[in-house]
């Protein structure tokens, strides 16, 4: 698959946690980064020429950012593509991890979070706001976790995943 500057993939990685529940892996990017500095996000990024699929992009980026080997992740599906505010078509993949040990890439990632799905599904930490730019409105999604705000495309993808999970009783 040829890389284009307008395609990207992220990995919504689930790890087992207590009482048969799962946690979602998120990263907080270093504030000093030129793109998305200080934001909480999924491991992921732009498709490169050597990526044979968008799933490969998500797995490669997860290996680079959080040190998880491809053989420790089972991709169980993809969510609908989303268009970022920067014009990138982002494909979110859902994966199950057979490990809960990660090694962050210190030149890009400040911190790794293991956010319990049940906390996100509770609804107490989620909200939306209507933002306007040049008279064009859009709904922006948010979650609060610890002292950080998860917002934008990451929060939208999480919200859609949570709705699917609740409807299929996955926790």
Q: How far apart are CA 29 and CA 118, in angstroms?
A: 24
Residue 5 pLDDT exceeds 70: no
| Secondary structure, 3-state, 75-100 | EEEECCCEECCCCCEEEEEEEEECCC
On the question of pLDDT at 34 being above 70, the answer is: no
Neighbours of 75 (CB within 10 A): 17
> What is the average per-residue pLDDT within 29-34?
68
- 6 pLDDT more than 60: yes
Whole-prediction pTM value?
Answer: 0.89
For residue range 123-161, what is the model confidence (pLDDT) as tens digits? 899 999 999 988 888 899 999 999 999 999 999 999 999
Burial of 27 (0-12, 13-18, 19+ CB in 10 A): buried
Query: For residue 33, what pLDDT is reported?
Result: 58
With 80 as the cut, is the pLDDT of residue 19 above it?
A: no
Backbone phi and psi for residue 95, each to the nearest 5 degrees, phi listed first: -135, 155
Domains and CATH numbers, the chain: 7-168 (3.90.79.10)
* φ/ψ of residue 74, rounded to 5: -110, 115
* Torsion (CA) 82, 79, 74, 104 in degrees, nearest 10: 30
Lowest mean pLDDT among 5-9, 42-46, 111-115: 5-9
Tens digit of each residue's pLDDT (9 = 90 or more) over 69-93: 999 999 999 999 998 877 889 999 9
- More confident call, 20 vs 105: 105
| Residue 96 structure tokens | 């199950």
Report the percentage of the chain scoring pLDDT > 90. Answer: 66
């Amino acid at each position: 698959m040829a890389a284009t500057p307008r395609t990207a993939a992220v990995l919504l990685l689930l790890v087992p946690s207590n009482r048969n529940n799962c946690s979602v892996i998120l990263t907080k990017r270093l504030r000093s980064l030129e793109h998305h500095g200080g934001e909480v996000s999924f491991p992921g990024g732009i498709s490169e020429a050597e990526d044979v699929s968008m799933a490969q992009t998500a797995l490669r980026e997860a290996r680079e950012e959080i040190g998880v080997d491809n053989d420790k992740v089972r991709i169980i599906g993809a969510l609908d593509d989303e268009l970022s505010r920067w014009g990138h078509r982002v494909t979110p993949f859902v994966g199950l991890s057979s490990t809960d040990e990660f090694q962050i890439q210190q030149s890009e990632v400040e911190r790794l979070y293991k956010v319990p799905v049940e906390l996100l599904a509770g609804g107490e930490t989620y909200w939306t706001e209507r933002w306007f730019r040049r008279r064009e409105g859009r709904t922006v999604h948010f979650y609060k976790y610890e002292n950080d705000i998860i917002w934008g495309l990451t929060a939208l993808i999480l919200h859609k995943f949570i709705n699917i999970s609740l409807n299929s009783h996955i926790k």
